[in-house]
Amino acid sequence: MGQIKTALAIAAVSMMVIFLGWTENASAQLLAGLQVVPNQKVCMVTNMVFPNDQIPVKHSGKTYYGCCEGCKKTLAEDASARKAIDPVSKKSVDKAAAVIAARADGSVIYFENQTNFKKFSGK
């Protein structure tokens, strides 16, 4: 019975090491491709960058962008869809005024300014 417990403990530790290594590697890969993109290329509901300009949505004198009619409706009606949290300052950011950076996988991060983007990306 003691050998089984030892084997299970070794397996658990091995899995943790593999997982932590993968997480660290995945995190580095996501930051490696991080670059600022034009706001009009981003669907601000799905938080993904696209090669083409997205559908503009005017709200309170600001322009947001969505990829489809559903996202357009969400941006017009849901105030929370127009906000994001800057990962550096932890402040709420208006997506229409944000510096937006895309990861290699196409997902985006919103920053309140270029300084915070540079802090986050190490650029």
Q: In whole angstroms, what is the distance from residue 37 CA to residue 35 CA?
A: 6
Q: What is the dihedral of CA 97, 39, 107, 26, to 10 degrees?
A: -70
Contact 103, 29 (CB under 8 A): no
**91: DSSP letter:** -
Contact 30, 105 (CB under 8 A): yes
Q: Which range (2-16, 26-40, 58-72) has the least confidence?
A: 2-16
Q: What is the mean pLDDT of residues 13-17?
A: 36
| Cα separation values, 40 from 55, 83, 99, Å | 8, 16, 12
Q: Where are the domains of the chain?
A: 33-121
Band of residue 33 on the pLDDT scale cut at 50, 70, 90:
confident
Q: In whole angstroms, what is the distance from residue 17 CA to residue 9 CA?
A: 12
| pLDDT higher than 50, residue 9 | no
pTM of the model: 0.74
| pLDDT higher than 90, residue 1 | no
User: What does the pLDDT read at residue 32?
Assistant: 55
